[in-house]
Structure 1
Amino acid sequence: MSLNIALWQGPSPEGSDDRAFAALDAALTAAAAMGAVTLVAPEVFFPGYNQSDIPAKAQVRGGPWHQRLAKLARTHGCGIVIGYAEREGGAIYNSAVAFDGQGHEIGHYRKVQLFGPREKAIYAPGDAVSTFDLQGIRTGMLICYDIEFAPLVRKLAEAGAKLVLVPTANPEPNTHVSRLVVPAHAINHGLTIAYANYSGTEGDITYCGASVIAAPDAAVLAAAGPGPVLLVTDIARAPDPALLQTQLQDHRPI
């Protein structure tokens, strides 16, 4: 049985909801035509990672962004995992939401490891990971810098996750995350990781692209260069058991 996952790598909508939804509509059209069950898009896609007015534009969970995303997923019969700026009470979170192909919210996550002084000035940190079912596969979400922290990946693996979906906003020159960190965590924790970045420039940030899907044996199933691209790959292939690591089972705390 196949399980196709799509990653959309493209430019930031730079605060324009119309531009954001037009890009997602085109990406979901193509992803659905290629049999993808879900599409992963970048971090804080709404309103755009490097926008100056994020606190003013942040929306509550279930607000207008979510309603339009749910409708878009339902229209195309393809799920979506995407980052957004979430407002709850007086706090702003760097969050990700997952919808299935019927437009139902099936997962939600708040970034735990905030990157640099800018993020820490805008967002409150999340404090938990969680998993959800995606076509029979236990799935978790992390956001960008989170994937560089083994304890977070381990928590998801211990919760039974076999797939981790990661919206990101990774700038140049940090392609080492895609080339080295993502495959290493995939093999060390025995899971598939799908990491979706921006391309292009947004304000003073130039994104490095390099979106990637790495299998539990560290095989790179799909990888992007720096430019806009839609990656679609079947993650259901069985890795060679001889290549799998057993660190998760063998770990002995001291």
Structure 2
Amino acid sequence: MRTALLQSSGRPGSTVENLKVLDEAAGRAAAAGAALLVTPEMFLTGYAIGDGVGRLAEPADGDSADTVAELAHRHGLAIAYGYPERAGDSVHNSVQLISADGTRLANYRKTHLFGCFERDHFTPGEQPVVQVELGGLTVGLMICYDVEFPELVRAHALAGTDLLLVPTANMHPFQFVAESLVPVRAWESQMYVAYVNRVGSEGEFEFVGLSTLAGPDGIARARAGRGTELLLAEADPAFLAASRAANPYLKDRRPGLYGSLA
């Protein structure tokens, strides 16, 4: 499945402008044959927007979701986008996946919150594995810091995730996550990982870019630089099947030994 990674910070604080950026990127991705477009973490609103998080948060079926559904249908490709989700009195750092026909397929709430900013503004999610079938692949959802916990990625592997989507806001000095950790996660859990980052400065944060789609062989199929960019790469189910047949990690596990580690 050809997958497009939108490395961009859009315009922090303006949902309207970010939807315009998403519309334009979806058009370019579709023209290049992509079946799926993935944005960074909190793309619809910006990440470092302080109390704007609560002000701009919307429910999973809110107006912005309707707009994304319309442009996904118009351009004919699925879209996974990061946004602040309003759920009653809580706000979650979420990613929603909408199909090419405009159907809301899955919504994931970030389970591992990073730093004081996130802990002050968000409620952590409690569902570790969210996945859906798309384009012949089992697609899983995760957000940024989550991928740094091998237990969570392995849970996706054991549940059958083929392509793990990870909208992210990876910042200096943690670029090693994009450069080294993400390809290792793809290798050790035998899946594709689409890690899609923000760029530039927002508040106290400097985002490092370096978005990638890493394969189950631990090799990046595409790698962005430090600026705004639209990447395209293939998640090939035949290659994934061959890699899983050759790699013994999952079948050589001994779960009975691991209980005390949890």
Range class of TM-score, shorter chain: over 0.9
Structure 1 residue 32 and structure 2 residue 34: aligned? no
Looking at structure 2, the residues matched to 192 and 244 of structure 1 have their Cα atoms a distance apart, in angstroms, of: 16
1:17-39 deviation line (CA, Å, top 9, x unaligned): 22101111111011000110110
Map 1:113-132; keep pairs closer than 5 Å. 113-128=112-127, 129-132=129-132
Looking at structure 1, the residues matched to 243 and 136 of structure 2 have their Cα atoms a distance apart, in angstroms, of: 21
1:139 equivalent in structure 2: 139
Q: Which moved more, 1:216-225 or 1:200-209?
A: 200-209
Looking at structure 2, the residues matched to 215 and 243 of structure 1 have their Cα atoms a distance apart, in angstroms, of: 15
1:197-223 deviation line (CA, Å, top 9, x unaligned): 011122221110000010011111000
Q: How many residues align?
A: 252
User: Against the structure 1 CA distance between its residues 78 and 241, is the aligned structure 2 distance closer, same or farther, given a 3 Å change threshold?
Assistant: closer
SS across alignment from 2:25: helix
2:16 equivalent in structure 1: 18
Q: CA deviation at 1:244?
A: 4.7
Looking at structure 1, the residues matched to 201 and 119 of structure 2 have their Cα atoms a distance apart, in angstroms, of: 22
1:179 equivalent in structure 2: 179
SS across alignment from 2:69: helix
Looking at structure 2, the residues matched to 18 and 218 of structure 1 have their Cα atoms a distance apart, in angstroms, of: 37
Map 1:150-229; keep pairs closer than 5 Å. 150-229=150-229
Q: Which moved more, 1:240-249 or 1:22-31?
A: 240-249
1:116-170 deviation line (CA, Å, top 9, x unaligned): 1110111111111221001110110100000000111011111111110010011
Q: CA deviation at 1:12?
A: 3.6
1:55 equivalent in structure 2: 54
1:21-73 deviation line (CA, Å, top 9, x unaligned): 11111110110001101100010112111101211221111001101110010
* Partners of 1:187 and 1:244 within 8 A in 2: no
Looking at structure 1, the residues matched to 216 and 21 of structure 2 have their Cα atoms a distance apart, in angstroms, of: 31
TM (normalized to structure 1)?
Answer: 0.95
Structure 1 residue 248 and structure 2 residue 250: aligned? yes
* Partners of 1:39 and 1:81 within 8 A in 2: yes
Which residue identity lines up with residue 34 of structure 1 in the other structure? A
* Partners of 2:9 and 2:43 within 8 A in 1: no
1:238 equivalent in structure 2: 239
SS across alignment from 1:14: coil
Looking at structure 2, the residues matched to 229 and 243 of structure 1 have their Cα atoms a distance apart, in angstroms, of: 34
Looking at structure 2, the residues matched to 210 and 161 of structure 1 have their Cα atoms a distance apart, in angstroms, of: 23
Looking at structure 2, the residues matched to 112 and 206 of structure 1 have their Cα atoms a distance apart, in angstroms, of: 23
Looking at structure 1, the residues matched to 85 and 23 of structure 2 have their Cα atoms a distance apart, in angstroms, of: 22
2:260 equivalent in structure 1: none
Q: Which runs of 5+ in 2 are unaligned?
A: 258-262
User: Against the structure 1 CA distance between its residues 206 and 109, is the aligned structure 2 distance closer, same or farther, given a 3 Å change threshold?
Assistant: same
Q: Which runs of 5+ in 1 are unaligned?
A: none
2:89 equivalent in structure 1: 90
1:233-252 deviation line (CA, Å, top 9, x unaligned): 12216166499532222111
SS across alignment from 1:200: strand
Which residue identity lines up with residue 56 of structure 1 in the other structure? R
TM (normalized to structure 2)?
Answer: 0.93
